[in-house]
């Protein structure tokens, strides 16, 4: 019923837009009058407000926001300094660095250390560990591949870099280096995506000698997420700097003049402040927050044109204007909407009645306006829906009859299975053991085939194959030899029912039935690389290349009517259950080998 109601609503909406030209004109006239009144009143009151009040409002509203965001930036930078600080494993790391050129285990330890650092933060773009004694550099760089590897190279130019000399000469442990200006640091990085490099010196505890330097290059993910908390209006910009070096600019138009004039040359006051300046004959206001941590500054640049616009926006929310707007709008909308919506309300009642199942009620069409057009469409839809409901009722009756017939048909397989059991018992009592074995195997095969399970364990499939072979060996005797090679870890794997049996049946059909010589069939099942592999191999006469191509062609043809129906059906089942992760292949050289592969990740063990 819900679908029916949704269909009705869609039809009414479609009919409304079809016949809405006159109604739209009425609504446009109404709301144009309301907007015109609001604009006139806004213009009369806008001149009463002072720009100073707008400036004060903007400054006060941005102080707390900039202070919060700048504090988050400071915490983020402090976290980058703590990120590369080894805790309890500092001694082990220094030992590995000292022995990196001699012991393979030390290299593995360093690689694991770098890899763990790399995957612990999503904004790490690259990590370089430079060992000073041998200029060996062990590094990892983020790329498009899923598996990112740790690599090694030799570099002899790192020790000439200014940041390296600073760490060595100053005795400091860390150095934060902004990359916004594209400064060369001796390592490869994405200049469009990276903004900060953090260098840390690893020193011997005893003599403070620097043995290695690790460099972590950060991309802009976390930084940009933090800066998103700053709301920006039209023309407003953000500047972020640390130690008088840029960490972020909104765009390149402020790259030189703004940085020099607005941030570097101003007084280093800690906390919130603001001032005005002129650039390219335009007036701007800068509101900033300065932190005592490395002179970290976050500034917001607002054009005075936007400040004036903000003053006008403040006037719009004035209570007096709002009340006047509400009063005039309410009077106009109430009187006008009542006249327009009265026929619509009447139509709504009929729609509601229809939703409650009263299909016999139809809307009385009066006039020739848009509402009359909607009513006509509504009556047409009622007629069509009555026809659809009657049709659906007949379909449900037919469906119930089909279910009853299916239940009746289900009785026959169980009757046949019980009859086979009775015959096998009679054969056993008569001393016909071979007949008993064959009939019992056939009964078990039949029971296995009619069971409701579509996915079974390897062990169940093997028992079924053994029952199947009991009957086949009665036909072929010693000419049929079968060997099972099932790995222990594959016994509990779940596979589609009759999948391996299909391969065995194919080998019997195309091998032993075509020759008088003995044929050996080998069934192998094992798990490898998170995949289950089943192989059925025989030493029969083989399959020609032409027939193999026909088999492969049958897998992809929609209306195939040749041989290899069993393999084609198995291939379709595997693809339906596992998708492109499953495969079925046929090869024939000295021996014929049929193999199917399914993924273990989707296996319901």
Question: What SS3 string covers 352-379?
Answer: HHHHCCCCCCCCCCCCCCHHHHHHHHHH
Between CA 568 and CA 555 the distance in angstroms is: 5
* Residue listed under structure tokens 């001796």: 186
Contact (CB, 8 A) for 54 and 311: yes
pTM above 0.85, yes or no: no
pLDDT band at 216 (very low <50, low <70, confident <90, very high): very high
Query: Hey, what are 475's tokens?
Result: 């036909």
Percent of the chain with pLDDT strictly greater than 90: 16
Contact (CB, 8 A) for 252 and 239: no
pLDDT at 448 over 90: no
Query: Hey, what are 105's tokens?
Result: 């285990």
Task: Characterize the bridge pairing of strands 583-588 and 592-599.
Answer: antiparallel
Contact (CB, 8 A) for 142 and 119: no
Q: Identify the pLDDT of residue 251.
A: 66
pLDDT at 238 over 50: yes
What are the pLDDT digits (tens) for 120-140?
888 999 999 999 888 899 999
Percent of the chain with pLDDT strictly greater than 70: 67
Terminal CA-CA length for the chain: 41
Q: Identify the pLDDT of residue 24.
A: 45
Query: Hey, what are 574's tokens?
Result: 């595997």
Q: Identify the pLDDT of residue 520.
A: 92
* Residue listed under structure tokens 């004060």: 56
Report the range of poorest mean pLDDT among 50-59, 117-126, 138-147, 418-427: 418-427
Q: Strands of 172-281 (E only): list them.
A: 174-178, 194-203, 210-219, 237-242, 245-249, 271-279
3-class DSSP assignment, residue 29: helix
Higher pLDDT, 496 or 49: 496
Residue 429 has a CB neighbour count (10 Å cut-off) of 9
In whole numbers, what is the pLDDT of the chain averaged over residues?
Answer: 77
Between CA 269 and CA 301 the distance in angstroms is: 18
Higher pLDDT, 383 or 502: 502
pLDDT at 229 over 70: yes
pLDDT average, residue stretch 538-544: 86
Contact (CB, 8 A) for 287 and 307: no
Residue 309 has a CB neighbour count (10 Å cut-off) of 15
Q: Identify the pLDDT of residue 155.
A: 85
pLDDT average, residue stretch 146-167: 86
Query: Hey, what are 511's tokens?
Result: 């091998």
CA-nearest of 86, 164, 198 to 97 is 86
pLDDT average, residue stretch 529-550: 88
Query: Hey, what are 338's tokens?
Result: 């009542």
3-class DSSP assignment, residue 152: strand
What are the pLDDT digits (tens) for 377-392?
777 777 777 777 766 6
């Amino acid at each position: 019923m819900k679908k029916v109601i949704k269909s009705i609503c869609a039809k009414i909406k479609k009919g409304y837009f079809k016949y809405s030209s006159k109604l739209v004109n009425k609504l446009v006239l109404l709301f144009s009058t309301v907007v015109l009144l609001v604009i006139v009143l806004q213009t009369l009151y806008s001149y009463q407000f002072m720009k100073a009040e707008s400036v004060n409002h903007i400054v006060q509203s941005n102080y707390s926001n900039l202070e919060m965001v700048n504090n988050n930036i400071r915490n983020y930078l402090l976290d980058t300094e703590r990120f590369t600080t080894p805790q309890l494993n500092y001694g082990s790391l220094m030992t590995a660095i000292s022995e990196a050129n001699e012991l393979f285990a030390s290299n593995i330890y360093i690689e694991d250390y770098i890899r763990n650092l790399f995957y612990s933060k999503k904004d790490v773009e690259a990590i370089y560990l430079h060992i000073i004694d041998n200029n060996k550099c062990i590094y990892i760089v983020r790329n498009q591949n899923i598996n990112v590897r740790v690599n090694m190279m030799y570099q002899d130019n790192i020790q000439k870099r200014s940041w390296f000399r600073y760490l060595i000469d100053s005795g400091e442990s860390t150095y934060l280096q902004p990359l916004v200006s594209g400064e060369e640091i001796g390592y490869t990085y994405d200049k469009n995506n990276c903004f900060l490099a953090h260098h840390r010196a690893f020193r011997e505890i005893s003599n403070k000698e620097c043995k290695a330097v690790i460099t972590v290059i950060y991309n802009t993910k976390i930084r940009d997420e933090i800066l998103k908390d700053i709301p920006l209006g039209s023309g407003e910009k953000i500047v972020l700097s640390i130690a008088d070096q840029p960490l972020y600019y909104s765009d390149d138009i402020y790259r030189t003049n703004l940085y020099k004039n607005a941030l570097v040359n101003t007084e280093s006051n800690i906390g919130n402040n603001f001032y005005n300046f002129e650039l390219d004959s335009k007036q701007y206001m800068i509101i900033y927050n300065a932190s005592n941590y490395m002179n970290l500054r976050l500034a917001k640049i607002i054009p005075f044109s936007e400040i004036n616009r903000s003053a006008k926006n403040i006037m719009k929310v004035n209570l007096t204007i709002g009340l006047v707007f509400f009063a005039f709008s309410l009077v106009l909308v109430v009187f006008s909407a009542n006249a327009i919506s009265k026929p619509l309300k009447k139509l709504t009642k009929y729609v509601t009645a229809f939703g409650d199942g009263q299909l016999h009620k139809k809307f009385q069409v009066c006039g020739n306006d848009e509402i009359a057009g909607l009513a006509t469409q509504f009556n047409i839809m009622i007629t069509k829906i009555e026809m659809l409901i009657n049709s659906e009722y007949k379909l449900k009756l037919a469906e119930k009859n089909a279910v009853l017939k299916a239940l009746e048909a289900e009785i026959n397989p169980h009757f046949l299975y019980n009859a086979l059991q009775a015959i096998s018992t009679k054969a056993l009592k008569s001393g016909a053991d071979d007949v008993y074995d064959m009939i019992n195997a056939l009964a078990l095969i039949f029971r296995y085939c009619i069971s409701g399970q579509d996915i079974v364990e390897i062990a169940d499939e093997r028992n079924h194959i053994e029952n199947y072979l009991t009957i086949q060996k009665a036909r072929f005797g010693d000419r049929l030899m079968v060997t099972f090679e099932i790995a222990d870890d594959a016994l509990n794997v779940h596979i589609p029912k009759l999948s391996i049996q299909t391969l065995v049946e194919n080998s019997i059909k195309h091998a032993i039935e075509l020759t008088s010589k003995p044929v050996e069939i080998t069934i192998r099942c094992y798990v490898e690389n998170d995949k289950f592999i089943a192989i059925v191999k025989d030493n029969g006469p083989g399959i020609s290349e032409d027939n193999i191509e026909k088999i492969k062609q049958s897998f992809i043809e929609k209306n195939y009517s040749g041989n290899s129906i069993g393999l084609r059906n198995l291939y379709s089942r595997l693809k339906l259950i596992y998708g492109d992760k499953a495969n079925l292949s046929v090869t024939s050289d000295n021996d014929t080998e049929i193999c199917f592969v399914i993924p273990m990740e989707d296996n319901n063990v």
